[in-house]
């Protein structure tokens, strides 16, 4: 997502495999959308073809064997905890908190906490927060940053200070091309998501004319580029448009799209703008299908757009939350899990397993993740030399 990233109340949280079949209603959210919620449809590969999801019963358990011993080490989470896209960061933080609770409850001699750093999803704010993270020597692993823009802005700081940066949601493909040996992405990037969704639109949904609209974030720009390339001749350049994060008046873009009479509009950006955009499309008489990705895939999109969100297609490098995880999350936080909650849980679990193995420093945790090979709730985690997953898939959801 964003590099965020981040789905719905329940689980757009995982790309790839889930232990829950895509016939269920996932932990997607219904908040504010009346009876509408984000429902899983199908898992796809880069050709847009369906890939049957395979459940896993051997996912790593943060509780371990209960015999771990440690002291003086902590983890950190950096992402939007306030601001227009705060729901995405809170989903991630809560997923990690759940893993830590299960770990700490089972391991009285190894109590690990997670220190929270609010970036508001803003690259500039993130650069102000990063020094506080790296200067805290108790922090040996970072979950985040959450969004692509803030990750790009702070990546060199974390790399220079040898701090593991394990993101559950930042999807801009270029992030793993900076030579950072401390950065690992826990989901598919937009070079996977873009072509997968584009081919699904063309080959399965049979769209022959699509207007690609993007915001000005690193996430939106990168995703739009991948979608446009994947669509090929189906991408109509005459109705391609750009908006800005923070925009609320999309009347000019609505007119461009309306004039094109396209089969679909693909929006590359976050729910804070996607919700008013789709609302204005519908009130403006645009009948074209609305398609977006993980930045929009959150219950807040349904809540804010209401009836205008109906039938929207939303992709995510995340799949439906497994039943037990969804139940545990709801019991702990009294809300449904959301986009990237499962990824966050898995990635926090991996770092906790490293700590439980006796690792006490930053370099050791980077090395542990670099060589990690194991199953999580969301998918199998094994990284290549660039910090990308060896295998990752995409899910398609629909608001129903």
Q: How confident is the model at residue 56 (pLDDT cuts 50, 70, 90)?
A: low
pLDDT band at residue 391 under the 50/70/90 scheme: confident
Domains belonging to the chain, first-starting first, are: 38-55+190-320 (3.40.50.2300), 74-188+321-390 (3.40.50.2300)
* pLDDT tens column, 86-112: 999 999 999 999 999 999 999 999 999
Residue 6 is predicted with a pLDDT of 33
* pLDDT for position 167: 98
**Mean pLDDT, residues 135-156:** 97
Q: In this predicted structure, which of 44-53, 173-182, 361-370 has the lowest mean pLDDT? A: 44-53
Distance CA 219, CA 273 (A): 14
Residue 2 has pLDDT above 70, yes or no: no
DSSP 8-state class, residue 138: T
Nearest to 37 by CA among 393, 375, 348, 320: 320
d(CA 60, CA 64): 8
Average pLDDT over residues 322-341: 95
Whether the pLDDT of residue 17 is over 50: the answer is no
Burial group, residue 223, by CB count within 10 angstroms (0-12, 13-18, 19+): buried
How far apart (Å, rounded) are the C-alpha atoms in residues 70 and 73?
A: 7
Q: Is the confidence at residue 32, as pLDDT, over 90?
A: no
Tell me the C-alpha distance between 180 and 162, whole Å: 9
Please give the structure tokens belonging to residue 140. 């040996």
In the predicted structure, residue 261 carries a pLDDT above the cut 90: yes
**pLDDT at position 33, please?**
52
Mean pLDDT score of the chain, rounded to an integer? 91
Residue 374 has pLDDT above 60, yes or no: yes
Q: Quick one: pLDDT at residue 386?
A: 97
| pLDDT (mean) for 12-19 | 30
- Quickly state the pLDDT bin for 34 (edges 50, 70, 90): low
Tokens standing for residue 26: 């996932």
- Number of other residues whose CB lies within 10 A of the CB of residue 382: 13
d(CA 266, CA 201): 10
Q: Which of 24-28, 88-92, 131-135 has the lowest mean pLDDT?
A: 24-28
Residue 392 pLDDT: 87
Q: For 70-93, what is each residue's pLDDT tens digit?
A: 999 999 999 999 999 899 999 999
How much is the pTM?
A: 0.85
CA–CA dist 317, 37 (Å, integer): 18
pLDDT over threshold 90, residue 239:
yes
Stretch 40-58: mean pLDDT: 86
């Amino acid at each position: 997502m964003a590099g965020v990233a981040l789905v719905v109340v329940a689980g757009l949280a995982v790309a790839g495999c889930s232990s829950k079949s895509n016939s269920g209603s996932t932990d997607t959210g219904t908040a504010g959308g009346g009876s509408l919620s984000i429902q899983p449809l199908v898992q796809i590969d880069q050709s847009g073809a369906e890939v049957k999801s395979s459940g896993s019963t051997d996912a790593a358990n943060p509780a371990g064997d209960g015999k771990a011993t440690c002291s003086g080490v902590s983890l950190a989470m950096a992402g939007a905890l306030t601001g227009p896209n705060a729901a995405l960061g809170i989903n991630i933080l809560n997923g990690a908190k759940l893993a830590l609770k299960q770990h700490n409850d089972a391991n009285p001699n190894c109590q690990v906490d997670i220190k929270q750093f609010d970036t508001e999803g803003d690259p500039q704010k993130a650069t102000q927060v990063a020094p506080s993270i790296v200067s805290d020597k108790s922090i040996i692993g970072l979950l985040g940053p959450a969004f692509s823009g803030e990750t790009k802005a702070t990546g060199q700081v974390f790399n220079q200070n040898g701090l593991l940066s394990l993101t559950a949601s930042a999807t801009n493909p270029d992030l793993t091309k900076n030579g950072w040996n401390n950065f690992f992405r826990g989901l598919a990037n937009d070079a996977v998501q873009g072509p997968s969704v584009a081919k699904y639109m063309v080959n399965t949904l049979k769209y022959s004319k699509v207007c690609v609209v993007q915001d000005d974030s690193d996430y939106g720009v990168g995703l739009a580029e991948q979608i446009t390339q994947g669509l090929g001749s189906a991408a109509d350049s005459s109705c391609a448009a750009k908006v800005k994060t923070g925009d609320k008046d999309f009347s000019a873009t609505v007119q461009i799209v309306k004039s094109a009479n396209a089969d679909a509009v693909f929006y590359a950006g976050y729910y804070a703008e996607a919700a008013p955009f789709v609302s204005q499309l519908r009130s403006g008489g645009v009948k074209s299908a609305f398609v977006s990705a993980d930045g929009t895939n959150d219950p807040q999109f349904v809540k804010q757009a209401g009836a205008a969100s109906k039938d929207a297609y939303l992709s995510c490098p995340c799949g439906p939350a497994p039943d037990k995880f969804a139940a545990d999350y709801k019991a702990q936080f009294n809300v449904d899990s959301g986009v990237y909650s499962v990824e966050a849980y898995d990635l926090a679990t991996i770092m906790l397993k490293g700590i439980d193995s006796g690792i006490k420093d930053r370099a050791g945790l980077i090395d542990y993740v670099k060589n990690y090979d194991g199953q999580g709730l969301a998918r199998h985690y094994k990284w290549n030399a660039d910090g990308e997953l060896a295998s990752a898939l995409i899910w398609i959801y629909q608001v129903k």
